[in-house]
Structure 1
Amino acid sequence: MDRLLLKSLIVFQKERFLAQKKLVKREILTSLTKFLDTREVVFINGIRRSGKSTLMSLIAKEILENRGVEKANILFINFEDERFINFTFEDFEKLYQTYLEIDNPSGKKYLFFDEIQNVDGWERWINRLYEFEDVKIFITGSNASLVSSSISTSLTGRNRQIQNYTFSFKEYLWSLGLEVEERDFYIPEKVVEIKRAFESYIKLGGFPEVVKNGDITLAEQYFKDIIYRDVVSRFNIRNVKEIRELSLYLITNSGCLASYDSLRSAISAKNVTTIKNFLTILEDVYLIQSLSLYDFSLKKQIYNPDKYYVNDIGFYYAVGFRFSENIGRVLEAIVFQQLLRKGLDIYYWKSSKGNEVDFLVSHSDNKKEAIQVTYSLTHENLARETGGLTAINDQFGEVDKLILTYDERKNIELANGIINVKPIWQWLIE
């Protein structure tokens, strides 16, 4: 690659990277800053357009403002820039040497690489920098298997992996300039403001640019980019129609149980092997996330169908085939995403009599929590929504029980314990 072009890109991209202002703070930033003083390479993975590059800008801002690091010690390269189309493995050393010539940094250098997996052999170069240079490296990626396979070959034991999600509801509030404290849950004017924001969050989802512009059609373009750039191009998919139809089906039916055979029938695929491969790919690019049944028998856990959730509810409204809005499923997907953000072990659970609990959560202290999600509790659905929560004690003993609804707050007293009922919007920001 031409050295003059490299110089131009290094200067241009770094200036834009450091010039970003009015960045929405991210909850995950606290977890990332504690890795600043370690040697390990930090991988930030997540769905396309979830704000990974902006997250790196926030890290750089922390380094510059609170660590006394000079701008010369920061390098940022976005390998998705089309001007890197001819960049190859042989150009990595040229890139690094050109950076050193331009900025002449002294001491530890902080290197930020966006979507570096686009260049074959990147992991060998990163490993060499780790071994022989005084650097701290941050890398983003939007393909789980590609990054993981590269790490396992060259960077085992030398990395930290963090998954970045689209905006949580708390981050959505921050983007609106709203800071919420627990006492605000009991101030009517504040509650009205929070609930109005939650209604918008449900319709828009959490993609930062969608939120910023209030434009859900951007999510439609993101979906196309994921299918055609992250899936079809990188995995050499020939039957584009099938994987696109499967994606749309899973988005439309987010949170539903789905066996391989039922999915095969839904899109008229030739065999279940195709479905298995497609599901792996769609999880690799973070479009969907699976949820397994909790069972002491690993065999039963494997052979029971999974649930599949869309990784941002904005896709549901942008590209899903919605004959009628299933607000209960939408709320369930939002709760699932929040549980993932917390890094918890999550399953769904079903009793021998068929009573189901939406989420069985294992906390770090081995304490379990059973969570049911519904739009509202009525006389007609009360037995169904509490049935699984009542039955779960038979297997696990005393378990914390929670029902999340759109806007109800109370306790339900049962013979074997109390079920706490609270609004989802409150639970999301507590």
Structure 2
Amino acid sequence: MEVLRERYLELLESAKGKTDLVKVITGMRRSGKTTLMRQFRDTLGDSDNVIYLDLDYIDEDMDWHSLKERIHGGFSGNDTHYVFIDEIQDVDGWERVVAEMIARGDCDVYITGSSSKMLSSELATKISGRYTEIKLYPLSFKEYMGLYSGDRYVRFEEYLRYGSLPVIEPSRGSELCDNQLADVFNTVLVKDVLEHAGSRDVSKVVSVARFIFSNIGNVTNVDNISKSLGLGYPTVQRFVDEMLSAHLFEYCERYDIVGKRILQSKSKYYATDVGMCRVMMRGVGTPDISRPLENIVFIELRRRYPIVRVGSYRDYEVDFTVSDDRGTEYYQVSLSMMSETTRDRELRPLKKVDDNFRKTVLTLDRFGLGSYDGIDVVNVIDWLLE
């Protein structure tokens, strides 16, 4: 089973035919990059001018020479050639081939990769910014409901537990799902973190990952991780950088709403997939859905807005402040707003922010919703399905 990733397909469609622009789909392994590329390829219909290579399933050791030969062997006719290359980052010198195809002027190029570093180094240098990145996240809850019909509240419990990777099918049972999640984590760690970090120390990198998983939603930084684990700062910094590049985690800056500046030392990390986080933290602490809920909201905001930050207003914290060309919005996340004490606590920071931008509290409550002094209290599941 699969669901059409309509938002991403629309982005790809808008760039179709631009032979001077490489379309780069990035995202964590198993988040659906291959499926998205195939779905878009299928919109082109039957054509001899479509070349598709999935480098994860090619046995031979491939360098840029053999990659070039494979691609050129598929060219036919004088029309535009549509070239799709999946997981290209493992081919040494791949950027030369991409640059050459752009220079030809008759190739519409689409590539995927599991490391964001491919954009900050080789590709950026070779083609001087002639690319557009489409960052693919795992399934949104709206996409999840398109894949699995049924009661939205039952499905949301699954979504909280098993996460949003398309390869995970809850109906297969918890044992298989948990094993798959652990396998994806191990693959990302080995292929996209350790190899790129030039290290073989699995225990150290796992300890860093588990520390971040256990502190989702908490203010932390590399120095805290280093001191807590007794590991050298450079080692932790290298591992964290590679985990962010592999899209295992997302970094969220802290923003001073009053001073309008970034507070570099007081930022947070969130997991790209909450199911993987749960599996890797089994047996540690007690079950708590408030952090996974906050994590899910953060990733959804990242899907919807180009800028998402933790908000700081004097001595108060706003869970998230978001911005785009329409303006700014503020969000709080709370499991429940039913008690007066909790309601006052969650509303207070938003009341303190003295501007006219929209302010919203997202909660699992199904009752007591509405507007409180201009602050909207909204059921989070309804919001996710907007």
Question: 5 Å matches for 1:300-339?
Answer: 301-321=262-282, 322-339=284-301
1:209 counterpart SS class:
coil
CA distance in 1, matches of 2:269, 2:285: 19
Deviations 1:329-383 (A, max 9, x none): 111000000011113311111222x211100111312x22110001111233222
CA contact (8 A) 2:24 2:133 kept: yes
- Following superposition, the deviation at residue 312 of structure 1 comes to 0.7
- Following superposition, the deviation at residue 82 of structure 1 comes to 5.0
Q: Say whether residues 1:427 and 2:383 are aligned partners.
A: yes
Q: 1:303 to 1:198 in 2, by over 3 A?
A: closer
- List structure 1 segments (4+ residues) > 3 angstroms apart after TM superposition: 211-214, 296-300
Aligned to 2:363: 405
- Following superposition, the deviation at residue 105 of structure 1 comes to 4.7
The letter for the 1-side match of 2:4 is K
Question: 5 Å matches for 1:232-311?
Answer: 232-270=194-232, 272-295=233-256, 301-311=262-272
- Following superposition, the deviation at residue 43 of structure 1 comes to 0.2
Q: Say whether residues 1:96 and 2:71 are aligned partners.
A: yes
Aligned to 1:7: none
- Following superposition, the deviation at residue 423 of structure 1 comes to 1.1
- Structure number with greater Rg is 1
The letter for the 2-side match of 1:154 is K
TM-score of the pair, normalised by structure 1: 0.83
- Following superposition, the deviation at residue 36 of structure 1 comes to 0.8
Aligned to 1:182: none
Q: Which of the pair is proportionally richer in helix?
A: 1
- Following superposition, the deviation at residue 177 of structure 1 comes to 4.7
Unpaired stretches in structure 2, ≥5 consecutive residues: none
1:257 counterpart SS class:
coil
Aligned to 2:26: 45
The letter for the 2-side match of 1:265 is K
CA distance in 1, matches of 2:259, 2:198: 33
Q: 1:280 to 1:78 in 2, by over 3 A?
A: same
Deviations 1:78-132 (A, max 9, x none): 1122513x212221332123323xxx45521111101111111111111111111
Q: Say whether residues 1:143 and 2:115 are aligned partners.
A: yes
Number of aligned residues: 377
- Following superposition, the deviation at residue 248 of structure 1 comes to 1.1
Q: Considering only aligned residues, what root-mean-square deviation do their CA atoms show, in Å?
A: 2.0
Q: Say whether residues 1:24 and 2:24 are aligned partners.
A: no
Q: Which of the pair is proportionally richer in strand?
A: 2
Q: Say whether residues 1:347 and 2:327 are aligned partners.
A: no
User: 1:72 pairs with 14, 28, 48, which one?
Assistant: 48
CA distance in 2, matches of 1:384, 1:344: 28
Q: 1:274 to 1:132 in 2, by over 3 A?
A: same
CA contact (8 A) 2:251 2:269 kept: yes
Aligned to 1:364: 325
TM-score of the pair, normalised by structure 2: 0.92
Q: 1:105 to 1:56 in 2, by over 3 A?
A: farther
Unpaired stretches in structure 1, ≥5 consecutive residues: 1-21, 65-69, 179-192
Deviations 1:254-286 (A, max 9, x none): 11111333211222213x333332221111000
